[in-house]
Chain A
Amino acid sequence: MSSAADTSKNYLNHEKGLWSWLTTVDHKRIGIMYMITVLLFFAIGGAFAMLIRLELFAPGGTFEAQVYNQFMTFHGAIMVFMVIIPGIPAFLGNFVLPLHLGAKDVAFPKVNLMSWYCLIVGAIISFISLFYHGADTGWTFYTPYSIQTDNGTILLVLGAFVMGFSSILTGVNFVATTHRLRCKGMGFFQMPLFVWGLYSTAILQVIATPVLGITLLLLAAEKIMGIGFFDPKLGGDPVLFQHFFWFYSHPAVYIMILPAMGIISELITAFSRKVIFGYKAIAFSSVGIAAVSFFVWGHHMFVSGQSELAGVIFSFLTMLVGVPTAIKTFNWVATMYKGSIQFQSPMLYALGFLFLFTIGGVTGIMLATMAMDVHFHDTYFVVAHFHYVMVGGTLMAIMGGIYYWFPKMFGKMYSELGAQLSFVLIFVGFNVTFFPQFILGAKGMPRRYHDYPEAFSFLNSVSSIGSWTIGLGFIVALIVIIHGLLKGAKAPDNPWGAKTLEWQTTSPPPHENFYTDPVVTGGPYEYR
C-alpha cells in the first residue's frame, strides 16, 4: 500500500484497464461510472426533449402523433428513472458520502457495484422496447390505456422495475453507511447537510420503491395474463393504479429534490465562507419532508374521481410540506447575510437553484390549492411547475455539484469562464423555455398534446427557442468538462477553502480516501 508521503498513487491510477473499472468496489470509481451513464442517459433524454419542442414549435405536425407520444414517454421515463433519481444519490452521493463521513468506503461495496449493474440492465431492457413498437403511455403508465396499448410498454415497465432495485440497494447502502461508518468524533449533528439529504432520500428509496415494483409487476401481469387489477373490462379499478403509482412517485419527487437541497447547503456555505444558518432546522426539515411526503400522493388526483374527503386531507398535508421547504429556503438566504460571497460557477448554480426553486415552490402551493388545481391540473402549468422544481432545482444542483467536486474527482480544474458561460445559457434558456408554459397552462393548454389551437402558437414558439438555448448551454458544459479532464491545470487539495472532510485529503483522493483516519472535533461548517 502507498505510504503517507506517496501522493502520486490515487484511486484513478490505483488499478488500470476497463476490467478494473467494471469490477471495482471503490465507491469513487462506481460514482464515476454512474456519472458517465447518467450523463449519457441525460443526453438521450435531452434529445427526446428537443424533438418534443421541435414538434411543438408551431401548430400542425412535423411528426405523427404516435411518434410524438413515444418521444414524450421516453423523455419522461429516461429523465425520471435513469437521470434524476440516480443522478444525485448514486452519482454524486456515491463519490462524496464516504468522504464526507471520513470513511474508507460505503458499508456494502459489492452491493454498491450490483446497484450499478441493476441500473444498466434495467436501462437496456427499457431501450429494447424501442424495437417492439416502443411505448406511448407517458412515464406514468396510467391504466387502462397502458393495458390496451402495444406490448413494447411491458419492456419499459419491466426495465423500470429492475432499475428500482438499483435505487433500493443504493438506499440500503447509504442508510447503513451513515449509521455505521462515521469517523471518530462525528455524531449526527456533525455530519454535513448533504449527508442529511442523502440519508432522508435513502429512507424514501428503501420504503417507497418496492411499492412501485409491485405496481409495475401487477401491471405486467395484467398485460400478459389478463388478470383484472386495473382494467374495468376485467373487473379492475383504473383509479387504484393511480393510488399505487403515486404512492411511490410522489415520494420519488423528494428522492429527486432532497439530495439537491443537501448540495445547495454545501455550496452556499462554502462560497459564502460562513457557517450554515439553522443547521438543525435544515437537517430536521429534510427528515420532516421525507416523512410527510408519504401522505401527499393524492394531490396528483384531485380530479381523478377519488373521494372528496381524501382530496381535502391530501391538500392539507401538501400545504404542510410547504413549511419545511420554505424554512430551508429562508435559511440559505440567511446564510449569505454578512458572508464573504464568491461567484464561482458552483455558487452561480446554487443561486440559480434558489431563484428557480422559489418559483417552483410558490407555484406548487397554487397547485396544492384544490379549486385552483381543478383548472391547472394536466395543463402546461403543471409541466412548467415540475420543470422548475426538477430541472431548476435538481438539475441545477447536479451541475453545481459536478463543478464543485470536479477538482476532487479528477485532480484538475476546469475553465471557470466556460463554466460560467454554460450557466448563463442554461439559466436564461430555462426561463425562456418554461416561464411561457405557466401562461399557456393558465390559458388552458393541456399537456401531452401533439398539436394545439392557433391561439397557443406564439408562446410555444418562444418556449422552443428557449429549449435550443438550454441545449447549447449543456453542449458548452460538456466541452468544459472534457476540456478540464484533458487539459485542466492541477487542482489544489482544497480549491474552495471549504471545511468538510473531503477537502482534507488529496485531489484526487487515494484508494482508501484518507492517509490517516480523520477525527472530527466540531461542526462541518466552522468558518471562524
Chain B
Amino acid sequence: MFWVNKAHASSSIMPPQASNFAGPVDSLYDFLYWSSLISCILVIGGLVFFAFKYKRKTANDSTAYISHNATLEFLWSFIPFVIFLAVFAWGWKIFYDMKRAPKNAFEIHVVGQKWYWDFKYKSGKKTTGTFKVPYNKPIKLIMTSRDVLHSFYVPAFRIKQDVIPGRYTTLWFTATKLGTYQMFCTEYCGSGHSAMLAKVEVVPEAEFEEWLSDDPYKGLSMAEVGQKVFTQRCIACHNNTAEKKIGPGFKGLYGKERLIVAGTTLKDGKPMTVKADDNYLRESILNPNAKKAKGYENAVMTSFQGQLSDNELDGIIEYIKQLK
C-alpha cells in the first residue's frame, strides 16, 4: 500500500479532500511536486551557475572541447526513465481503482444537457442542479448526455469523466467528508458552459434516506410546481420577464400572436401566425423544432419529451400563463 497523505492543510493548493480518492491522488501529487521541484532546481540552478561562472571574459576566450561523455549521458537518460516508470505505475494503480466500483455501490443516474445537470435516483426522485449523496457509502454514477459532450468534475473528490450522448460512462467514489462541494462541467459545451454547475451535498445516510422518500412537490399549487421547474430547467435559456435570453422571455408570452417562420410543421416553409395557447406551449416544450418564431430561427432547444412528468408539464404551462 502506498503512503497515504491525510495531512493536507488548507495551505495546500489542492482543494479539500472529500472522497476516498483525494488522499491517494494528493500523495501522488506531493511526490510529483517535490520531484519536479528538485529537477527544476537542478536544471535551472545548473544553468544559472554555469551562466555566471563561465561568463565571457575576453573577446577570444578559448573553450574546452567536450563533445560527449557516455557515462554521464547514460545516467541522465536512465535515471529519468526509472522515475517516469515509477510515476506511471503509481498513476496507473490509482486509475485502476477509479475504474472499478465495488459491487455493492449505490447507483445514481446523471444526465447532462445544455446547461444543467439532472440526477435521477432509483426511487423515482429526480433533482436538477443539486446532487445529494450519502456519507461514507460507495456511489456509482451512470452518466449520459442528451445533446453534446459534457464532463462531470468534482475537484474535492478528484474525479472527472466525460459524459457522452448515445452511451453511458461511469464513475464511482465514496464521500468521506460531510459538506457541500462545487461540481463543474469541464467539457466545453457552448455559451452556458461556465454556468453548468451543480452543488454536491454530502449528508448522513439517515438524512439521505429520509430525503429520498420525500415528494418535492408535496402541498404545492400547480403554479408553484411550475415555478420550481422554471428555476431548475428553463432559467438557463429563458427569463421570467419579457426580456429575450436565448429563447423568448416568458412574461406576457401566453395568448400572444406568434409569427412562425421556421419549423417542421410549416407547410412549404410559408410563415404563419399562431396563438401562444396551452397547446402551442406544450408543443414547443416537447417538440421545440415544430414551430420556431421569428427571431429564434437559429436558437437551439433540446426536446423535453420524457423529461417532465405530467404534473411538471402542467405546472410550467400554468406558471407561464400567470406571468402577465
A interface residues with partner B (beta carbon < 8 Å) = 64-66, 69, 136-138, 142-145, 148-150, 232-233, 237-239, 272-281, 302-305, 308, 311-312, 315-316, 319-320, 322-323, 326-327, 329-331, 333-334, 336-343, 351, 354-355, 358-359, 362-363, 365-366, 368-375, 377-379, 439, 442-444, 446-453, 527-528
Contacts and interface: CB of A to CB of B under 8 A. Distances in A.
Given A238-B149, A305-B162, A447-B186, 10 more contacts: A148-B147, A238-B164, A302-B95, A303-B161, A323-B80, A337-B64, A340-B61, A371-B21, A444-B15, A450-B194
B218 interface: no
B12 to A, nearest CB: 9
Contacts of B155: 375, 443-444
A143 B194 CA distance: 19
A527 B63 contact: yes
Contacts of B189: 145
The 7 closest A-B pairs by CB, nearest first: A444-B155, A232-B166, A369-B91, A340-B61, A371-B94, A362-B36, A449-B194
Interface size class of chain B, counting residues whose CB lies under 8 Å from the partner chain: 35 or more
B1 interface: no
30 contacts: A65-B192, A65-B193, A66-B191, A145-B189, A238-B164, A275-B66, A277-B69, A278-B67, A281-B73, A303-B151, A303-B161, A304-B162, A305-B164, A308-B95, A312-B92, A312-B95, A315-B92, A322-B80, A323-B80, A334-B66, A336-B50, A341-B54, A343-B55, A351-B47, A362-B35, A363-B36, A370-B94, A371-B21, A448-B194, A527-B63
Interface string B7-20: 00000011100000
Interface string B154-191: 01101111101111010000000000001011111111
A40 B54 CA distance: 39
A280 B70 CA distance: 11
B28 A369 contact: yes
B131 interface: no
A278 B77 contact: no
B98 interface: yes
A144 B145 CA distance: 11
Interface in B22-70: 24-25, 28-29, 32, 35-36, 39-40, 43-44, 46-47, 50-51, 54-57, 61-69
A377 B99 CA distance: 16
A370 B84 CA distance: 12
B54 A323 contact: no
B266 interface: no
Interface of B: 13-15, 21, 24-25, 28-29, 32, 35-36, 39-40, 43-44, 46-47, 50-51, 54-57, 61-69, 72-73, 76-77, 80-81, 84-85, 87-88, 90-96, 98-99, 147-149, 151, 153, 155-156, 158-162, 164-167, 169, 182, 184-195, 298, 300
B191 A69 contact: yes
A523 B223 CA distance: 84
A319 B63 contact: no
A443 B14 contact: yes
A371 B161 CA distance: 12
B68 A281 contact: yes
A145 B190 contact: yes
B67 A145 contact: no
Contacts of A447: 186, 188
Given A150-B298, A340-B63, A351-B47, A326 B77 contact: yes
Given A326-B77, A354-B44, A338 B63 contact: yes
A338 B65 CA distance: 9
B185 A446 contact: yes
B164 A239 contact: yes
Contacts of A232: 164-167
A527 B56 CA distance: 14
Nearest to A358: B43
A277 B68 contact: yes
A363 to B, nearest CB: 7
Contacts of B46: 333
Contacts of A150: 298
A351 B29 CA distance: 28
B98 A339 contact: no
B193 A336 contact: no
Contacts of B64: 274, 337-339
B296 to A, nearest CB: 14
B92 A370 contact: yes
Contact of B153 (A136, A277, A278, A446): A446
Contact of B149 (A142, A272, A276, A354): A142
B93 to A, nearest CB: 8
Contacts of B44: 354-355, 358
B186 A378 contact: yes
A355 B48 CA distance: 10
B43 A329 contact: yes
